Structure 1
Amino acid sequence: MSFRRSGLVLKSCTRLNSTAQNAKKADASALYLNPHKWVGLPADRVFELHNLRKTNLAEKYVPNNAERRAILSTVTSLKGGAPKLEYGYEIDNFKERVMNNTPSNLRGLPPKLSNQRVYDRGDLIHKERLKRETLRTAAFEMPLLAKYRQEYRPKETAQNPLKLTFQSDFSDSPNEFNSKVTLSVKLDDLNLKQDQQKKFILLSGKKFDQHSRTLEFSSIRFPESTQNARWLVETFNKLLKESKDLTKNDFKDIPINTKQHKPVKPVYAFPESWKRPQDAPMERHNVVQNYIQSYKEKKESEYIKSISP
């Protein structure tokens, strides 16, 4: 008998819960259709009703002024209170800031906090901090790199004929100047035969300098300099492979065009027989400059004696 009573109690509780949920759903369904009743509700509840209205109405959803007013009413509750700025020496600096006693280059600046001036605009403090950090690095960290010093020994050009030139303006923003890479190689370092050299020159076109016998071309097609360097090396390898292959076409009947490069102007030496030192103007006696030079030499010698062991 007790078991049946407990079952009746459970059934009655589930019925009550279902009716409460149905009533809550009915209230919610009735509330999302009446946006003028949203004013005064919490912001998350208004947002929930707004999404519910958009979902249920689907294509029939049209925003109205009541819904807009209800959403705008929640803006003040979402905004956080801005902290008040408290500056030191406000009363002491009042006359200096308001009156004309302040120098013209310091007018309009906020008052001082202790011994540090607070700037409300610009990046002067950031630049000063960056400069001091650079000076500290140069003074304390760079001397520690002396233990890694190695003697420079240039590699032989016969083993490494390619020369890649990188450039940088030390800026963080990527640009064409930083990504540009130039490849240069001398023809004599490639160990090519006469026919292969001719084909190499013809395939290089205007990129080959006839006077210095050097191939030089650059690339800025990629944003990174390493990508441009890789493309240059791959292109040069294709050019060299094609120049060595004389089975398809050796270009024997095609002459080499040397008109695209201007000839180097010869430098003539002045003949010794034309020189006439006896006709040169006499040197004037510059007393002041001679005295200054002798005084500098005297001071330098005294300074060297004072620091020499």
Structure 2
Amino acid sequence: MLRSFTRTTAPLRTAVSATTPTRTFMTSLLASDRPRSRALGAIRGSGGSKDMLDISNLEEFRFDDSTTMGHDALEAQREVRKYLRITKYELPKLQAYRKAFQPPASTQILKFRTSTYIGEPNHPAAKKVVLTVDSNSLPLTNAELHKFLLLVGPRYDPIKHQVKMSCEKFQDRSQNFKWLSDTMDRLINEAKNDPEAVADVPLDLRHVEKHRKPKLTFPKEWNRPVAAKTAAAVADAVNESA
């Protein structure tokens, strides 16, 4: 590449040093490049006053090329084939890094969930981290657990016995991980600090009642009365099938 660059700059330097007029120099430069010379001939043939970048000066479409929608469809096929090639040639290479599944230990009680949006690395929801933990698995006594649930407030689900927290304060996902982990440590430490002082404070579970759907029962008085003959026929059918 360096050798070709030196070779092309020598004639240009000679042309400039020979005090060549600007118009003659530009003409010789375009003539040395075939695509540019053809473009220059097209401009000259049209009178030299048309702008070739103007859409109104484009050539008439002779149906010798695909339409814009056709090019979009081809681009979509290229993208699909790109991922198919990755699936066929790149994914098998990951077998060298596979590891046997190991179930989480009894001490690993925190669960973190994140969302990844393919094709959108800067999606605003990609930084969000959600932490869930089973309240019965926390290393706390009954009094300490009661104070812990008082501290988390509406983040506690008494039906699933689960505490759920989320964080999207920071731009980097790892920072949200760290904030949730540190917050859980602070809550546990605070729950162990004199839990008997709030032992008589009841849990506020109004947030559960607000989202719980009422279970409706159909009154028996609204049932349609069944005729005696029909009931006897149904009973006979049941006896025959038995």
Instruction: Please classify the TM superposition score into its range, dividing by the shorter chain length.
Output: 0.5 to 0.7
**Shift in Å at residue 126 of structure 1?**
4.7
Q: Find 1:212's aligned residue among 160, 169, 173.
A: 160
Alignment pair present for 1:187 and 2:124: no
Q: Distance in 2 between matches of 1:173 and 1:132?
A: 21
Alignment pair present for 1:203 and 2:151: yes
Contact persistence 1:218–1:232 (CA under 8 A) = yes
**Shift in Å at residue 217 of structure 1?**
1.2
Higher relative contact order (CA 8 A, sep 6+): 2
Residues 14-33 of structure 1 aligned to structure 2 (within 5 Å): none
Contact persistence 2:112–2:132 (CA under 8 A) = yes
**Shift in Å at residue 196 of structure 1?**
0.3
- Give the alignment's TM-score, normalised by structure 2: 0.56
Unaligned runs of at least 5 residues, structure 1: 1-76, 88-106, 269-274, 280-309
Aligned to 1:150: 99
Change (3 A) 1:119 1:264: closer
Change (3 A) 1:124 1:191: same
Aligned to 2:110: 162
Unaligned runs of at least 5 residues, structure 2: 1-25, 40-59, 218-233
Contact persistence 1:110–1:119 (CA under 8 A) = no
Aligned to 1:259: 206
Q: Distance in 2 between matches of 1:141 and 1:276?
A: 67
Q: Find 2:186's aligned residue among 238, 244, 248.
A: 238
Q: Distance in 2 between matches of 1:206 and 1:277?
A: 56
Contact persistence 1:162–1:184 (CA under 8 A) = yes
Q: Find 2:80's aligned residue among 109, 125, 131.
A: 131
**Shift in Å at residue 229 of structure 1?**
1.5
Contact persistence 1:201–1:208 (CA under 8 A) = yes
Q: Distance in 1 between matches of 2:156 and 2:71?
A: 50
Change (3 A) 1:86 1:243: farther
Change (3 A) 1:164 1:278: farther
**Shift in Å at residue 209 of structure 1?**
0.9
Amino acid corresponding to residue 91 of structure 2 in structure 1: M
**Shift in Å at residue 181 of structure 1?**
1.1
Contact persistence 1:175–1:223 (CA under 8 A) = no
CA deviations 1:183-232 (Å, max 9, x no partner) are 00111111211110110010010001112221101122222222212111
Contact persistence 1:207–1:215 (CA under 8 A) = yes
**Shift in Å at residue 276 of structure 1?**
7.8
**Shift in Å at residue 173 of structure 1?**
4.4
Q: Which structure has the larger Rg? A: 1
Percent same amino acid at aligned positions?
23
- Give the alignment's TM-score, normalised by structure 1: 0.45
- Secondary structure of 2:160's counterpart equals coil
